[in-house]
């Protein structure tokens, strides 16, 4: 057991809730976990993580499940078909019952309120594995990957191109925490949530960084150190896919767009990637790409998150 630098936090719901020093503490621990995993082999021995999945996932499920195993604990997968939330049980009851059985809860849900309600009523840590509003574990992993690639994050710029979705929101919240500027280019009608933008800009002002919005990807990408995109139709938006392809015309990240970025720029994507839609295959699989480093780092960053929240 150790004194967690996250002592004031029971849960991880949003990057916005954390200070720069707390994010740096996470990154230092994640780097240590990645470099010397054997040191943490039994850190969560005897503990269990309940994993609630309303949305399916490759990276989230495998990284949390493997992460708990590597830390000496176990993870229990619970789909919406496996638990009573899907049959009308109040979230408060589910949270209270699970708190009697497990050491922590990770939830990947549609409504953000599902995760916040779980955190409100659970007595064990709750980790936001993704909601329609935020994706904090991925956002933290992305900035950890930038830090790993460049040796630092302060003063760098990340350009996000595409839908103003949960990934965009978490990147805007994360930038000020790591000293990075964030430029966002989205089509009309697909702008990020105004409340998130307002909070992120306030964080940026306090941190001495910037959050900027643009109508064209060229404007955002020019000179950026990292270029980020995400799928145009997220899970639950499949019926809108064809309409979104038309709306996002001109927003594909191509080699020509990447040439506008800094000469040492990296390309990032949370995956799954739809080559030929939001990104050209030559970019996703080319010299700029760090997408599989990001995917791997989900494991290390989430192990660090579980250590900081559960190993007290």
**Catalytic annotation on 262?**
no
- Catalytic-labelled residue, pool 230, 244, 269, 300: 230
- Catalytic residue of the set 59, 169, 298, 300: 298
Question: Is 56 in contact with 292 (CB distance < 8 Å)?
Answer: no
Active site residue 81: no
From CA 171, how far away is CA 153, in angstroms rounded?
13
Does the annotation mark 300 as catalytic? no
- Among residues 108, 147, 169, 244, the one annotated as catalytic is 108
List 138, 163, 252, 300, catalytic entry: 138
Our answer to whether residue 108 is catalytic in this structure is yes
The question of whether 138 is a catalytic residue gets the answer yes
Check 59, 135, 269, 300 and give the catalytic one.
Answer: 135
- Point out the residues that are catalytic: 108, 135, 138, 230, 270, 298
């Amino acid at each position: 057991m150790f004194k967690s630098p996250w002592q004031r936090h029971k849960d991880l719901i949003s990057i916005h809730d954390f200070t720069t020093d707390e994010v740096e503490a996470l990154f230092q621990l994640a780097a240590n976990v990645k470099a010397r995993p054997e040191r943490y082999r039994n850190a969560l021995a005897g503990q269990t993580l309940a994993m609630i999945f309303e949305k399916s996932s490759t990276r989230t499920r495998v990284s949390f499940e493997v992460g708990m195993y590597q830390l000496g604990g176990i993870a229990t997968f619970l789909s919406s078909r496996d638990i009573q939330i899907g049959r009308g049980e109040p979230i408060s009851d589910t949270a209270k019952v699970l708190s009697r059985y497990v050491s922590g809860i990770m939830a990947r849900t549609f409504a953000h309120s599902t995760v916040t309600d779980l955190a409100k009523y659970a007595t064990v840590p709750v980790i936001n594995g993704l909601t329609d509003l935020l994706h904090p574990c991925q956002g933290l992993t992305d900035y950890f990957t930038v830090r790993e690639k460049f040796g630092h994050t302060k003063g760098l710029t990340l350009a996000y191109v595409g839908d103003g979705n949960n990934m965009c929101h978490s990147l805007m919240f994360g930038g000020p925490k790591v000293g990075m500027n964030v430029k966002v280019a989205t089509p009309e009608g697909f702008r990020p949530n105004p409340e998130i933008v307002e909070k992120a800009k306030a964080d940026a002002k306090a941190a001495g960084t910037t959050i900027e919005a643009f109508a064209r990807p060229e404007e955002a990408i020019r000179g950026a150190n990292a270029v980020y995109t995400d799928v145009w139709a997220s899970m639950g938006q499949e019926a809108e896919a064809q309409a979104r392809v038309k709306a996002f015309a001109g927003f594909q990240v191509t080699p020509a767009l990447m040439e506008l970025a800094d000469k040492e720029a990296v390309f990032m994507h949370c995956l799954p990637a739809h080559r030929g839609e939001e990104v050209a295959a030559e970019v996703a699989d080319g010299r700029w790409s760090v997408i599989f480093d990001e995917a791997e780092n989900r494991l290390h960053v989430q192990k660090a998150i579980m250590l900081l929240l559960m190993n007290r």
